[in-house]
Amino acid sequence: MTSAPPSRTRTRLRVTTTPVTGPAFPEDLLSRLPDPGGALAWVREGSGLVGWGEAARFETSGAGRFAEADRLWREFTAELDVEDAVGVPGTGAVAFASMAFADEPGSSVLVVPRVVLGRRGEHRWVTTIGEVDGDPLERAVRPVRRPSTIRYSDGRVPVTRYREAVAEAVRRMRAGELAKVVLAHDLLAVADVDIDERFLLGGLARRYPECWVYAVDGLVGATPELLLRRTGEVVDSRVLAGTTWPGSGTDEEALLASGKNREEHEYAIASLTEALRPFCAALSVDGPSVLRLPNVSHLSSDVIGTLRDDPSPLRLVEALHPTAAVGGTPKGDATRLIRELEGADRERYAGPVGWIDGNGDGELGIALRGAQVSGRTARLRAGCGVVADSDPDTEVREAHAKTLPMREALEGL
């Protein structure tokens, strides 16, 4: 495991959170991101956080990446001079986090922006960390650039190999080796110009307002799945597993009644509640119901708990990740099979993504329906839960449906 120190020397940085009222605060948080690259965002239905600049950066890797990131963040915030006139989750010092799916190589990152704009309920604020030139709300915003053409090609796990991997996983499960595994494939998109992350974020937010739109260190997407939100002593999570899509031949009533999809969903709920229970004095599950999105519908359940002690968001997600919704059951057997059958590093796809603050609160989703953007290229990934009665061709179609949000965003649809 390795870690990188903050990009600034450890002086006592000043952090100032100021409430904002009136028309100076933008209705669309994403519209204030000033530059094409380096966007930091966690926004749903107009609320959330966006940030830019880099006051500090922490990189961790390996099996201890969560604990190391948590330690570095605690050490960093202990040395800050914080003036917070708002005092709600997401004010004061904030880091945007994107953690790797797998232990190896497990390259993960926390980015502390110089400027954060936030909205939560009736609260609107600006946070600055360190020296910032001028008024962040008056900073010039470069025009958003859209590509003219997008060309797609096979990724590291193309469709043919993905179909074979699903078939092999089904064979293993029918032989009793494990109960569920989530397998993914990727698709490479190449644009005619460098891809503007703000263009993707804007398109995703318009078409998928029910999802958390995120951007951290080039990983951009819109996830429907909240891994963990901590607000004081309360934690909650939204679990999705079991899917149908237009043209699949399964409507929402049939989705609720589907044995295959209910089984997949129950594995996901069980894995999350079992991991969360040791931290909670009380825990409840509400669901399943059907979450309807433009491209797919999911079985959805909400898990709510009251914390027993004071675990940080990063230590909580370390215990939860990977849930059966993105890994499988049993966890160890599923992650080993993913590594074997996919044969490629997932990087930060399906890992925790979101934000944490210096007061112990945070929101982290699962990095789904997204892409890793670098220059003119974007690597899209999508996965499906596979159980013993899964059909490889059906899983291929489902994975294709799950890439639709990013394909639409890239193409400006």
Active-site positions read 180, 225
**Can you name the residues that pair with 187 across neighbouring β-strands?**
154, 380
Q: Are 273 and 246 in contact (CB under 8 A)?
A: no
d(CA 264, CA 285): 16
d(CA 252, CA 28): 32
Q: What are 193's two structure tokens? A: 């110009």
CA–CA–CA angle 113, 68, 11 (5° rounding): 45
Q: Report phi then psi at 117, rounded to 5.
A: -105, 135
Cis bond before residue 288 (omega within 30° of 0): yes
Give me the torsion for CA of 373, 69, 118, 198, rounded to 10°.
Answer: 0
> How many other C-beta atoms can be found within 10 angstroms of the C-beta atom of residue 370?
30
Q: Are 320 and 272 in contact (CB under 8 A)?
A: yes
Q: What are 229's two structure tokens? A: 């939100």
**Can you name the residues that pair with 291 across neighbouring β-strands?**
298
Ranges of beta strands (E only) in 198-308 are 212-216, 219-223, 226-231, 234-244, 280-292, 297-307
Residue type (1 letter), 92: G
Q: What are 145's two structure tokens? A: 């650039």
d(CA 135, CA 20): 12
